[in-house]
Structure 1
Amino acid sequence: MTATLFDLTFLVAAPFWALMIFVPKWSWTRRIAESYLIVLPPALIYIVLLIPEFFTVLPLVTQPEIGPLAEYLATEPGTALVWAHMLAWDLFVGRWIYLEGRRLNVHPLVMAPVLVITILLAPVALPLFLIIRKLCDTTNRGATVVTGQ
């Protein structure tokens, strides 16, 4: 079951990525991406994987040590759990990047590579997009979105 859930995690996230990358200006893409619910499928898989592993994972995250954590991550349940965690988080970050890109009217040919990098290496894509966002947000509208002022 663990291997099946591992495989399923990408399959439930991929359609959302495909919409944001390949049809970013389609009205339904924006409607779908505006919903926080797109993150639920990989997050639910994470929860299903976590339940039987909870008492193994809890000490690893509350008192992390590299040795025991590395040992656990080398197991099938550990790898599947981290994979689901990564895909849920990457989709959450990618969703925000997509929506900010649309809000700032960043060209899809700029956004597509950023979103692909987000799928593969989200911690690299986020600072890259923050630079793009700063360059494109000439009126500092980002502060308005965050503060409501």
Structure 2
Amino acid sequence: MTGFLFELSFLLAAPVWLLMIFAPAWGPTARIAGSPLTVLPVLFVYVALAVPVFPELWTAVSSPDLGSFRELTALPDGAGAVWAQVIAWDLLIGQWMYREGRRLEVSALLMGPLLVLTVLLSPFGLLVFLGVRAMKAWRAGARPSTGGPVPGQARR
């Protein structure tokens, strides 16, 4: 059962990732990616895996040290629970990146690979996206806005 739940945690998140990567401009994608409820199924899997190892989980989070974390992840349900938690948080990060990318008009040709990187190695994907985001903000600030007068130019 643990192996099934381990695999299920990603399978429940995969449709949202696929929409954000392969159908970013489709109307329902924005609504789906805008909802934090997408992680609920994955969190239910987390709970199913975490409850049987709750004493070990509590020890690992209330008095964190490498040994207690190793003990938790040595248990099949413990490793599965940690995996489901990672899947849920990665999905939330990916959804935020998707929404920010759309807001900043980052090309889907760039966002797609960034989201794939985030699925696989979320800290790296997030770091690269934060760099892209900072560059977009810098470029937007470096150019005069089109909604008002150019600085130093008199209004008519």
Shift of 1:36: 1.0
Question: How many residues were matched structurally?
Answer: 140
Instruction: Report the identity percentage.
Output: 46
Shift of 1:68: 2.8
Query: Who is 1:9 aligned against?
Result: 9
Query: Who is 1:40 aligned against?
Result: 40
Q: Deviations over 1:18-43 (max 9, x none)?
A: 00000001011001111111111111
> Given residue 31 of structure 1, which amino acid in structure 2 is its aligned partner?
R
1:1-149 aligned within 5 A? 1-137=1-137, 138-139=140-141
Shift of 1:74: 2.2
> Given residue 132 of structure 1, which amino acid in structure 2 is its aligned partner?
V
Q: Partners in 1 of 2:133 and 2:44 — Cα distance?
A: 31
Shift of 1:78: 1.6
> TM-score if structure 1 supplies the norm length?
0.89
Q: Partners in 2 of 1:78 and 1:126 — Cα distance?
A: 26
* Paired residues of 2:56 and 2:71 also in contact (CA < 8 A): no
Q: Deviations over 1:120-145 (max 9, x none)?
A: 111111121111011123249xxxxx
> TM-score if structure 2 supplies the norm length?
0.85
Q: Partners in 1 of 2:56 and 2:41 — Cα distance?
A: 23
Point out the structure with the larger helix share. Answer: 1
Q: Partners in 1 of 2:75 and 2:118 — Cα distance?
A: 25
* Paired residues of 2:94 and 2:115 also in contact (CA < 8 A): yes
Q: Partners in 2 of 1:41 and 1:65 — Cα distance?
A: 29
Bigger mean CA offset, 107-116 vs 56-65: 56-65
Q: Unpaired segments of 5 or more residues in structure 2?
A: 143-156
Q: Partners in 1 of 2:115 and 2:109 — Cα distance?
A: 10
Query: Who is 1:144 aligned against?
Result: none
Q: Partners in 1 of 2:124 and 2:52 — Cα distance?
A: 32
Q: Unpaired segments of 5 or more residues in structure 1?
A: 141-149
